[in-house]
Structures are given as C-alpha cells and as structure tokens.
Structure 1
Amino acid sequence: MTKSNFGKKSRPKKSVKQKQLSNFAKDPIGFRVDSATNNLAEIIAVAQEEEDAAQENLAAAQAWRSQIIIASMALSAVIAAILAYFTNRAIVRPIAAVTNVAVRVTEESNFELQVPFTGTDEIGVLATSLNQLIAKVNNLLSELKNEQEMQAMQNEKMIALGRMLAGVAHEVNNPINFIYANIDPARNYVEDILQLLDTYATEIPNPPPPVLAQAEEIDIDFVKEDLMKIFQSMQVGAERAKSIALSLKDFSRLDAATPSPVDLHTCLDSSLLILNNRIKHEIEVVRNYGEIPLVEGYMGLLYQVFVNILSNAIDAVEERAKIEKERSQQAANRPQNGDKIEEKSSFSPRICITTELLDGDSAIVRISDNGIGIPPASQQKMFEHFYYKTARYGYGFGTGDRSRYCS
C-alpha cells in the first residue's frame, strides 16, 4: 500500500519539471541562457585549441632551447680549443723550447745552442737571459780552453827547455869536472915547485945576478903568497860552477814518471843559487831550516815551484824597494825651511825560508817576504789554475799550479 501511494505521487512531479523546462526553453531568458551556454562551449573549445597550440609552442620552445644550449656548448668548446691553441703557442711552446735547450745544453755540453724565441714578456726575458748565460759560459770555456792550450804549450816548452838544460848541464859539467879534478894535483905540483925554490934559495944564498933580477921583476914573494889564493878561488869557482850545473840538471827533471826521495834543503839552496843573479847582496835571505827527512816527490817540479815562488818574492820586495825609494826621493825633494833634506829609505828587502816537520809524516816549507804583498782581490783567486799573481804576463806559474804540484 505504501508503494502504490509513492508511485502515484511521483508522476505528477515529473510532469511539472518537464513542463517547467519546456516553458523555460520557450522563455526569452532561457533562450539567452542557452545561447550563452553555446557560446561558452565555443569559448571553451577555442581555449582548448589555444591551450593545445600553447603546448605545441612550449614544446617547440623547449626544443629550440635544447638546440641553443647544445650550440652554445659546441661554440664554447670551439672557443676553448682556439684559446688553448693560442695559449699553447704563446706560453707552452716557448717554455718547452727553453726547457729543451736547457736540457740539451746540460746533456750534450753544447754551448753553441740558443733559444729560438724573442719577446718582451716574461718568457722572452727568460729566453734572453738563458741565451746570455749560455753565451757567457761558452766564452768562459773558450778562454779556459785557450789558457789550457797556452799552459800545455808552456809545459811542452818547459820540458823541451829542461831537456836542453840537462844536455847543456851535462856538457858543461864534464869540463868543470876536469878542472875541478885537476886543481888539487896542480896545487900539489906548484907547492912542490915552491918548495924546490925554497930549497934552492937555502942551498944557494947568493944566486947569480940574472936570477936575482928575474926574482925581483916578478916579485917572487908576492907570487908565492898569491898563487895559493888563486888556486883557492879556482876551487871555489869550480865548485860553484859544478853546483850550478847540477842545479840546472835537477831543475830540468820535469818529465819524471815516478816520485823519488828529495832533499828539500838542497832543492831550496839550488833554487836560490839559480836566482843568485837577482838576489846578490841587495836582498837578505834568511834560512831557518829544521830537521826534516827526505820526502817523496818530483824533483824537477819542486825546483820549478820553489824557483817561481822565490821569483815572485823577489818581484814583491823589489817592487816595494822601488816604491820606498820613490817615496824617499819625493820626501827629499820637498823643501823644509828652505833646505832640501836627503833621506834614505830604511826598507831592507828580506826573504825568509822556514822548514819544519809536522806530525812526523809531513814537512812544511814557508817562504815569506816583506814585499808589497798580494791584494785582497787576488787572494781569493790565488789558488785557481792558470792564475798569475805577477803583473807581467808570462812570468812564473800560477799559485794554483804550484799548489797542485805541492799537493
């Protein structure tokens, strides 16, 4: 019963709604609403189309953006490659060239190489400095080579001179030995003749007048007294000549292959004897010789060392003597109270030679003088090879060479 009532009531309500809708559709307002609905649908459709077009444009823009990014990256890579090329050409290649030249100079010792790069930047300054350094080293090596060649030539000359001196000393020593060996027999013979004359004078107190005249003419008493002095001076001269010949012979032993026992005192005395013409009586030579044994060494080279050191010492004292003399003359030429005062130099040239034994296995030879000395600038170079202390080029040996021989 309830269902049937519900069914009866619903039919009239549906009819009313349809009727209202029908009336609304016929009404102008409804027509307008329907037109507005249609327009709204068209607008929605157009908006949908525009949205679809916008989506398509957005997708195209994103595609362009990707392309632009890829192109920018490619362009950046190209620019980076170009910059790297120019950077390599401007920096890396010059540095590599400088490094290559430096390595080749070090490994090959070829100082003729130069860096083929010039410029005003830091690398150009570095390359120029390296080229200047290589050129200076090359010049120094050329000078050293020339000095070595000159030294080798001088050594060859000294060896040749030494051999010639040895030959001359040998040839001179033979006649000197003849003279020296015959002095004593000749003295004995003369003494015998003088004794015979004395015996004759004793046995014949009144000789004939011609004998007395001859004895008075030659002054027989003076002859007897002076003849022995002549023999004595002949013996001293022969001994000196013999010593000089032996000194020259020892001095000439420059090419000895092995060392031999050397008496340093004899070596020093012989060196002084060779330089005696420069020493004479103007330079005082003080010998403070100690008790030292024979030493192993090269006699000829030691002679050469001592002769050159002593020669330099003589140069030094002679130079100071000259300076002192000029100073005294200048002082004498300055008038004092209208009168010139003569002053003599109080400087006395002196060379002192001292030898002593050190620690039982080393001998020390000290040669000093009171000359002008060695300038401080030269003292730092005095033990370098081929360095000459004397102002006159070609005199003596460098102190470095002498230290090499003595060591």
Structure 2
Amino acid sequence: MSHTSFILIVDDNPTNLSVLAQTLRSEGFAIRIAPDGVSALQQLEEVYSSVALILLDVQMPGIDGFETCRRLKANPQTHDIPVIFMTALADTESKVKGLSLGAVDYITKPFEGEEVLARIRIHLQMRELTKQLQKSSTLLEQRVTERTSALQSAQVQLVQQEKFATIGQLIAGVAHEINNPVGCIVNNVAPAHEYLNSLINIFHLYQKHYPDPAPEIEQALINEDIDFVLKDLAKLIESVQVSALRIKDISVTLRSFSRNDSTTKVLADIHEGIDSTLLILQHRLKASGKRPAIQVIKQYGDLPQIKCYPGLLNQVLMNLLANAIEALEEGMENQQEFIPQINIHTQVSNTSTPCITIQIADNGIGMSEQIKQRLFEPLFTTKPADKGTGLGLSIARQIIEDKHNGRLTCSSQLGRGTEFIISLPI
C-alpha cells in the first residue's frame, strides 16, 4: 500500500473501531475512522484518491452500510475502491445483497485479527494488480493507436507518392506528345504566311498586267470571291498561329504543374502554381448546360518566392480547387439564381514566424461540424465509392504540414460555403 494511502474504517461501535484500528496500525497500515455512513461519504469527497480500501459496518444509524455502499459505487470517483462489509449478519441473503451492491468480501463479527489482515492484504494486492493491468492495457491501446496511426500515415504517403508519380508521368507524357505536333504547326505557320503573301503579290501583278482575263477566269474569280478568300486566308493562318502558341503555353504549364521535384526544395512562384492549376481546371469552370460559369476572383498579394516542392504544392491546389468546384456544382442543383464563386486571396502574414497564406473560399453548400471534424482523416469521404477515395485532403495536409512545416486549416458553415487556408513559412 502506498505511503499516502490509507484504509477507511466505518463503524458506529467504539469497541470495534478500537480493535480494528489497533490491529491495522500494528501491521503498519495507515487508517482513518468514520462513525457512520454520512460522515464517511463526506470524508471521501475530499480524500477519495488516497483511500486504498474501506471496512464498512452494515448496521449503523442514519444510512446503513448497504445504502452507503450503493452511493459509493454510484459515484465515479469512488466506485473502484474495494469495500469489505463487517457484520454479525451471517445469513446468505445479507451476504448476497452486499456482494450484489459491489462489495468484494465479508468479515463476520466478532473479528479474528489474522483473518481480517489476510483478507485486507488479498484485496489490496488484487486492487494493485488490477491497476497494473489497467495501466498495461492503456499503454497497449496507446501503442496500438500509435502503430495504427503510423501505418495509416505510411500508407497515405505511399499512396500520395504513387498517385503523384502517376499524375506527373501522365501529364508530362501528354505535354511531350503535344510538343511535336504543336512545334510542327508553329514552325510551319510562318513560312505558310510568307508563301501566301508571295501568291497574293503575284496575283496582284497578274491583275495589274492582265486586267482583262479570259471570261472563264473572270467568272471563276467572281464565283470564288477571290478578294474575300485572300483576306480571310490570312486571318485563318494568324488564328492558327495564335492557337498553336496557346497550346504551346498550355504544354509548358502542364510540365510546370507536374514537376517531379519532391526530393529537393526549390524557389518557386506560388501565383504561377495557382494560375497553372486554374488553367488545367478551366474546362470545369466554364458554363455547362444550365449551370453558369464559375467566377474565379483572384486577389494576389505581393509574395516573395519561397523554397518548396512546387509539384506537390500544385497537387494540393488542384485538390482544394477541384473540391470547391464540386461543392459549387452540388450547390447549384438546388438554386436557380446562384452565382458560383471561388475567391483566391494571397498575402504575407507578418506573425512571429513570417509566412505566406493562400485562402481558397467558395460559396457552395458548406459542411456540417461533424463532417468538418473528420475532414482530414485518411479514407474518410462523403462522396460515392466511385468518385472519391478519402485520401485527397489527408495527403494535402501531409504535404503542407510534414513536407513544408506549414499548416492547412478549414472553416465552413453548412449552406454558407467553405474556406481552406494554407500557411507556408517564408
């Protein structure tokens, strides 16, 4: 028994108290005394954590031992303290009643000192063993929880690496395949334009030196509206050139977005990453059927370049923006006059640790508090099985917090939209 703990004796008989007190003190036990159930309960309110065991008389004035025991076991602070009844009632019914109320044993009066000590020692040992088992069980549960969390984290990291590698290879492959035909178009547009100008010059010379063509040629020129054809052909070639250069820019954006630089941090422009992600998602932002176009409102602050893993950050931006689009699409199903918006705001936050913040907010359906609490749990998703794995936000948080020592938080109200905030140290 601990030096700070004691045995509480509850009995209204002074002789019994004296005998028990002397017996226990002679064996080195610390004790306290209560003359009835009420005073025992009052004492326990203050010192319950130090009580190792209670010796409780059954027949007492006021509330008897049975009622005292019932109240002890009903109180979460005292319910696990072992109670040994002391009584002259040797009938089976009384013993069954006491044990059913939670007592661990009975001592029959008159007392035998050795028997009392033996029973007390047994139950003190049993309580100590129980505490050790509970402690071991708690430690085991903690280790299981920690191991499970570590395994989940490792699984998420593997999925994230595999997913990003696959996406990166796919996008890089598409960009590479686009480059060849686009390069061919871009390189051939300029000479095609020169050839057209040469043909137009020659045609004009013919018109100058042969103003009276044969009737067949004159009719063909009228039928084909050759002046319009020559002007429009020049415009078509210019349009092809603009489109080819646009595709070339998209290819560069795709390669920038899919950068496989997850092993070394490099200086990068955050706004470039946001813009490239929006470009890739452009087809989902446009109007579709009855759905109006999604407005993207950008409020960019003056951000310095920061050392980061740009490819991984782009993956986070893609996930958050795609989620915002889905929330807006779902919100538009039930609202006729609804202007869907995504607000992107960036700034430098001059806190104790200077950082940049990226706020991505939508005016979609929002989410309940219950969903928000589980939002970053691995494998948690509110989407159908064929539309979501429940890993996107978990991976996003891991990229921001583990890879970049930043922070990813979310605020949302049901029916009023959602905002994600990324904080990255400068």
* Cα distance in 2 between the residues matched to 1:233 and 1:294: 35
Q: CA separation in 2, counterparts of 1:157 and 1:90?
A: 58
Question: C-alpha distance in 1, partners of 2:334/2:251?
Answer: 36
The SS at the match of 1:365 is strand
The structure richer in strand per residue is 2
Task: State the shift of 1:346 in Å.
Answer: 2.0
Partner amino acid for 2:342? I
Higher radius of gyration, 1 or 2:
1
Match of 1:377 among 370, 380, 398: 370
Match of 1:352 among 343, 348, 352: 343
| Residue 86 of structure 1, CA deviation | 4.4
- Verify: 1:394 aligned to 2:389, yes or no: yes
| Aligned mates of 2:257, 2:134 — CA distance in 1 | 50
Q: What's the counterpart of residue 366 of structure 1? A: 359
Bigger proportion of residues as helix: 1
Cα drift, residue 82 of structure 1: 4.9
DSSP 3-state at the match of 2:393: coil
In structure 2, C-alpha distance between the alignment counterparts of 1:154 and 1:375, rounded to whole Å: 27
Partner of 1:245: 251
Tell me by how many angstroms 1:278 deviates: 0.7
TM-aligned CA deviation for residue 140 of structure 1: 8.6
Q: What is the identity, as a one-letter code, of the residue corresponding to 1:365?
A: I
Matches of residues 93-242 of structure 1 in structure 2 within 5 Å? 93=126, 95-100=128-133, 102-103=135-136, 106=139, 110-111=140-141, 138=144, 142=148, 145-146=151-152, 148-242=154-248
| Structure 2 residue 125 is matched with structure 1 residue 92 | yes
The Cα shift of 1:304 comes to 0.9
Shift of 1:215: 3.0
CA distance in 2, matches of 1:223, 1:388: 60
Letter matched to residue 358 of structure 2: V
Structure 2 length as normaliser, TM-score? 0.57
Q: Is the Cα contact below 8 Å between 2:295 and 2:342 reproduced in 1?
A: yes
Q: SS of 2:238's equivalent? A: helix
Aligned to 1:320: 331
Kept in 2, the 8 Å contact 1:387–1:400? The answer is no
2:251 aligned with 1:259: no
Letter in 1 for 2:370: A
SS of structure 1 residue aligned to 2:343 = strand
Task: Check the 8 A contact 1:385/1:401 in 2, yes or no.
Answer: no
Query: Residue in 2 aligned with 1:306?
Result: 317
Aligned to 2:58: none
Q: How many residues align?
A: 283
Distance 1:357 1:142, change over 3 A: closer
- Contact 1:386/1:401 (<8 A) preserved: no
Q: For residues 42-62 of structure 1, what are the alpha-carbon distances to aligned partners after superposition, in whole Å with 9 as ceiling and x for unaligned?
A: xxxxxxxxxxxxxxxxxxxxx
In the TM superposition, residue 89 of structure 1 has moved relative to its aligned partner by 4.2
* C-alpha deviation, 1:141, in angstroms: 5.6
Structure 1: runs of 5 or more not aligned: 1-77, 112-133, 325-344
2:156·2:378 contact (CA, 8 Å) conserved in 1?
no
8 Å Cα contact 2:267/2:306 also seen in 1: yes
Closer/same/farther in 2, CA of residues 290 and 97 from structure 1, 3 Å limit: closer
**Structure 1 residue 258, shift from structure 2 partner:** 1.5
The correspondence for 1:291, drawn from 284, 302, 320, is 302
Note the C-alpha offset of 1:367.
Answer: 2.0
> Matched residue of 1:374: which SS?
coil
Closer, same or farther in 2 for the Cα pair 1:240/1:87, shift >3 Å? farther
The percent of aligned pairs where both chains have the same amino acid is 31
